[in-house]
A = this chain, B = another copy of it.
Amino acid sequence: MVTIKQIADICGVSRGTVDRVLNNRGNVKPEKKEMILSVARELDYTPNPAGKALAARKTKLLLGIVMPSVGIEFFDIVIDAMKKAEKSYSYYGMKVEWHLTKGYDVDVQYKALENMIDRANAVIVSPINDDRIRDIIKRLTDNGIMVITINTDIEGSTRHCFVGTDYVNGGMTAGALMQMIGHGKLNIGITLGSLKILGHKLRLKGFEKIVDSSKNAKIIAVTEDEDDDICSYDRNTRMLQEHPEINAIFAASSGGIYGACRAVMAQKRTKDMTMVVFDTIPSTIEMIESDIIQATIYQHPRRQGQTAMQIAFDYLVYGIQPAKEKYLLSNEIRIKENVRAYY
């Protein structure tokens, strides 16, 4: 537990000088710098977070949050966790600016991100997988702003790190689980939000990978429900009518799960149908408790929010760079008995 003051005393310089060296602020003679650095290393100096935090109050830190979250229930939990974190971090002088939008309009997201340049010190974004977004993220990082992607990543961008889940693994887990709990040969219908959403595409990929290597399961049809329950109801009804042999449904959607359930119910197929879905939004929990859905993959929404906030906070207040490029939370299987989580 060495302090800057102690190092200063040992080296016979002032705390200001030590501070300059330790934080690479320049304006120190090379030989002094060397000495200070070696003493700090020798004594294993690590800054005291409380001291840093207190001093950080003097600067104004701005974190921008840009998410197309409106209307997607999964995000409600993520955002609730982020707001809790915001509150506890506010003591440290960190301000948060929220840009929550509805739908995947590239223009809207682009403008929101552009607006953060020259103002924010860090940005958390759930990005649309689009070239213009990649461009604006590059401009942000070029301006020294830390960019964290949450829940969905964006391929080939300069963002600092990603917080979310391994979507391919999620699909694989769902596929393997479906085969474990399904009865007899599985004829699978798939409903997903949109192939334009990277996560859904990857889930499908993982699921196919598992199912294609199995003799007891076969994918019969795939439909896109646009993350909308009404649309999902229509499309899934048609899918079930066209393929009455379907006896299992994999829902990789984020917004159309309830609609798919209603289609199954309307077609009076609940008895012999195996359904595996994602997330634990209220309607999904209800469907699990009514035995319409057998299992769901839980993706730690709360911890996704917490983790992203923590990374931003550690960077802004403590100057700590993220340790990893990807913070992947695990895919958990939930059934009726454990779907209502505790803490």
Q: Taking beta carbons and an 8 Å cutoff, which residues of A are in contact with B?
A: 1, 46, 48-51, 53-54, 57, 88, 90-92, 166, 169, 172-173, 175-177, 180-181, 210, 294-295, 298, 307, 327-338, 341-343
| Copy total for this chain | 2
A166 proximity list for chain B (CB < 8 A): 342
Nearest B residue (CB) for A88: B49
Pairwise interchain contact B90-A1, C-beta atoms closer than 8 A = yes
Instruction: Pick from B1, B54, B90, B172: contact of A337, CB below 8 A.
Output: B172
CA distance A180 to B105 in the complex (A): 42
Q: How far is the CA of A138 from the CA of B173 in the complex (A)?
A: 46
- Whether the Cβ atoms of A332 and B329 lie closer than 8 Å is no
A264 to B46, CA, bound (A): 52
* B residues near A57, Cβ cutoff 8 Å: 50
Cβ A338 vs Cβ B342 within 8 A: no
Q: Name the residue in A327, A332, A334 with the highest tally of chain B Cβ atoms < 10 Å from its Cβ.
A: A332
In the complex with contacts A181-B180, A210-B337, A338-B169, A91-B49 CB distance below 8 A? yes
Cβ–Cβ contact A177 & B328, under 8 A: no
Report A284 CB to chain B, min CB distance, Å: 16
Using Cβ atoms and an 8 Å threshold, which residues of chain B touch A1? 90-91
Residue A50 contacts which of B50, B332, B333 (CB distance < 8 angstroms)?
Answer: B50
